[in-house]
Amino acid sequence: MTTRVVRSQERKSRRLKVRFGVDDLSKMAFLGNASVEGAWIITGQPERVGTLLRICLYLPDGEEVVVRGRVQWAKKIPPNLIRLSKNAGMGVKFTRFESGLSVFSDYLTTLRY
């Protein structure tokens, strides 16, 4: 049985480059979808549930958004199967924007889905 997550904001799907890590931005991944409250990060190296992360999102115009967040769920998939899986990676709830909140919010409003 699956549990449906109710979100207060609609997630927008967009594939953006992401770097993340516990202390540094040492791991690279891609954004699956996002809102100003959280994101789905597609990675073969998800962190454990509850882990606090530092995340840098690279917007298409070159802007960088730096945010802190907590891993809400994680699903590890072998790297060669990531493209075939619909849920590979981890869901992160944003806890604090270090920079770029208004830029990120404006970017999300330009997206249709």
Q: Which helix (H) or strand (E) holds 27?
A: strand 27-34
The pLDDT-based confidence of 5 (bands split at 50, 70, 90) is: low
Q: Average of pLDDT values for 46-70?
A: 96
Q: Which helix (H) or strand (E) holds 59?
A: none
Residue 2 has pLDDT above 60, yes or no: no
pTM over 0.85: no
- Distance, CA of 41 to CA of 67 (rounded, Å): 13
Q: Average of pLDDT values for 81-89?
A: 78
Residues 12-50, buried b or exposed e (16+ Cβ, 10 A)? bebebebbbeeeeeebebebbbbbeebbbbbbbebbeee
CATH of domain 15-110: 2.40.10.220
